[in-house]
Structure 1
């Protein structure tokens, strides 16, 4: 009889954290069976509703945890206020749901697979005497930066403010082109008391105790950083989920199918694809500058934009550009980037977007906003050389035209396209039968299967 393992999956329900964790779980569930392993996925009701769709695997069950909003009240605060309420409710909200899952399944949880932000999972795992596997949803460069927080603080104390902007992190392996000004704000001393910074710093202290740290990436993108992080953890496993797993089906008649049909009619590498993720919208003056460039240059464009942001566009823009442009409230991004008509991706540089762009060989124009996005942008432009930033870091008419012409030109864009295609090939090699991502995935699956619920 097969050994049963019951994996408790704890999600962080903000930004784009929960979706890639579920992608990993779906991939693991598909590679096993309900006789070998079951997954209980713990997440807030709102986030579960957003990421679960269609037919799920028999060995995955979602459980809703309390989001911290007082009972009977409708939450109307900011994104960061919602995060604080949720963190105040942890870990008790997870403990309650885990007891329910154990009671329903008749099996004790044998391993915790959690978002790395949920540092308290280390203590929960130790109390239960089970392995803790932490999933880092961002790039290896940002994890490395956080792991060197103490050394970064020490360095900052030894330099004056004028040096700070351009001073490089030469002491961090693989990050000699990164400046202090590129770092996520939560690393810097002036933001160290924010709830998010405190959570991440606690994570940094706990991660070396984990059984494994898993990333949605591939080792070959940053060999120096990869090797350095391997020396810090028991198991450091890069698994390129974006091309290791299939995408959910696109329903006919929705905006996803509509924009894919539109892309088929466009010229090769002519379309500007624009998306700033699910959280951020540029300021109206930046949107106006970008819109003016698209309109006057008659660049074919596909813009994924939430409905409530469309009112910020210049009056009449939608009508005037309808012959060569398209705006949708949602786009199946991996499928869009795979389309040969897409020539450049204007992005906020969230890690999922960067990785999907690499996997499709599409150069980027970077407009980062917060978190790890500035660091990702710097890696894209200065280290991997697969895209460009904007003059002054924001959309202006002249800066945006310059960036678009640089990428779309056969002359200047050629080197960038060659670089990203080389990186794309490395990503594809990582998921071959003998590739690093495939080997790491198998190692993770064996680790989970070897944990036994009692």
Structure 2
């Protein structure tokens, strides 16, 4: 039986994939199988596995661990982490403090303005800079987007793997760009759903825009994040069975954009955004950031 390391001093076997992480304070909504494999399964002597293990050891000795989150979003988890570290500081959401300032080089916002009369109607597909699609995944996404009938923006570097006729048949209703000003796109009134890999910054930007998510996590901490989105905060849905298919894309977009479940998700996301704005306005994040400054500027913290 393979054995992996979760935290220093805690050992987990790979026959507990669906077991909750309730032996770690504040993590009961998460499962062992949501952890990145380099922590629990696989080659535990790999570079990344050893790096994560060392980070766990060093974090426990750090004067402070700083997180891009806020108390109203992650209260239970933060309480658990505070019991593990000398000081756990939630100073986010950082995108609400300092929005990204950059040029909309592919005119996504101008394109979105065409749909401003129909709020929460557009699908945005953005999977960050690391994840790479297989041809099968590209085809499934393309077919699902076209069949859903929803207008969409798709941030995708390489235009490869599209089904025959896809670009022609979605012309005018779909915009495919190599890069999008994501925080601004998600903040547009027409934006209705974010098809995402569940990177933490992408999640924070979706919350800031009150945009529910369709989650397709594959790497790193993405499965953990997906579990928070779909089961803890309930502001999104996960791809069923972890397999991206045309029907799964169509059904998920239909649920979020056109059914009551999607409306309720947007309402929950709106409440979270308001908590975030309060935190960075004159609330807990401001107080905690000042505490961080004291640690950084005063010798010995």
TM-score over 0.5 for the pair: yes
- Structure 2 residue aligned with 1:21: none
- The answer to whether structure 1 residue 205 and structure 2 residue 205 are counterparts is no
Q: Kindly indicate whether structure 1 or structure 2 has the higher relative contact order, using CA contacts under 8 Å at least 6 residues apart.
A: 2
- Residue of structure 1 aligned with 2:273, choices 409, 413, 424: 424
Query: Residues of 1 paired with 2:6 and 2:82: CA distance?
Result: 12
- Residue of structure 1 aligned with 2:149, choices 271, 291, 298: 298
TM-score scaled by length of structure 2: 0.91
- The answer to whether structure 1 residue 192 and structure 2 residue 44 are counterparts is yes
Number of matched residues?
Answer: 293
The DSSP-based 3-state class of the residue aligned with 1:274 is strand
Looking at CA atoms only, which structure, 1 or 2, has the larger radius of gyration? 1
Query: Residues of 2 paired with 1:191 and 1:409: CA distance?
Result: 44
Q: CA deviation at 1:430?
A: 0.8
Task: Assess if the C-alpha contact under 8 Å between 1:287 and 1:395 holds in 2.
Answer: no
- Structure 1 residue aligned with 2:287: 439
Q: What do the CA deviations read for 1:62-118 (whole angstroms, capped 9, x no partner)?
A: xxxxxxxxxxxxxxxxxxxxxxxxxxxxxxxxxxxxxxxxxxxxxxxxxxxxxxxxx
Task: Assess if the C-alpha contact under 8 Å between 1:362 and 1:417 holds in 2.
Answer: yes
- Structure 2 residue aligned with 1:345: 194
Task: Assess if the C-alpha contact under 8 Å between 1:275 and 1:346 holds in 2.
Answer: yes
Q: What do the CA deviations read for 1:360-405 (whole angstroms, capped 9, x no partner)?
A: 1110000011110011111111111110011221211221111111
Q: What do the CA deviations read for 1:110-167 (whole angstroms, capped 9, x no partner)?
A: xxxxxxxxxxxxxxxxxxxxxxxxxxxxxxxxxxxx873642x24x2xxx73xx2322
- Residue of structure 2 aligned with 1:355, choices 189, 204, 208: 204
Query: Residues of 2 paired with 1:188 and 1:262: CA distance?
Result: 44
Query: Residues of 1 paired with 2:81 and 2:247: CA distance?
Result: 41
- Residue of structure 2 aligned with 1:249, choices 102, 112, 118: 102
TM-score scaled by length of structure 1: 0.62
- The answer to whether structure 1 residue 392 and structure 2 residue 245 are counterparts is no
Q: 1:332 to 1:446 in 2, by over 3 A?
A: same
- Structure 1 residue aligned with 2:67: 215
- The answer to whether structure 1 residue 319 and structure 2 residue 178 are counterparts is no
- Residue of structure 1 aligned with 2:113, choices 264, 267, 272: 264
- The answer to whether structure 1 residue 179 and structure 2 residue 38 are counterparts is no
Root-mean-square deviation (Å): 1.9
- The answer to whether structure 1 residue 282 and structure 2 residue 141 are counterparts is no
Pairing of 1:68-87 with structure 2 (within 5 A) = none
Q: CA deviation at 1:195?
A: 0.4
Give the gaps of 5 or more residues in structure 1: 1-145
Q: 1:428 to 1:247 in 2, by over 3 A?
A: same
Q: CA deviation at 1:445?
A: 2.0
Q: 1:169 to 1:440 in 2, by over 3 A?
A: same
Query: Residues of 1 paired with 2:286 and 2:173: CA distance?
Result: 41
List structure 1 runs of 4+ shifted beyond 4 angstroms: none
- Structure 2 residue aligned with 1:332: 181
- Structure 1 residue aligned with 2:7: 148
Q: CA deviation at 1:189?
A: 4.1
Q: What do the CA deviations read for 1:271-323 (whole angstroms, capped 9, x no partner)?
A: 000011101122211211211122233210001111xx212222332222111
Q: 1:247 to 1:337 in 2, by over 3 A?
A: same
Task: Assess if the C-alpha contact under 8 Å between 1:183 and 1:372 holds in 2.
Answer: yes
Pairing of 1:370-381 with structure 2 (within 5 A) = 370-381=219-230
Give the gaps of 5 or more residues in structure 2: none
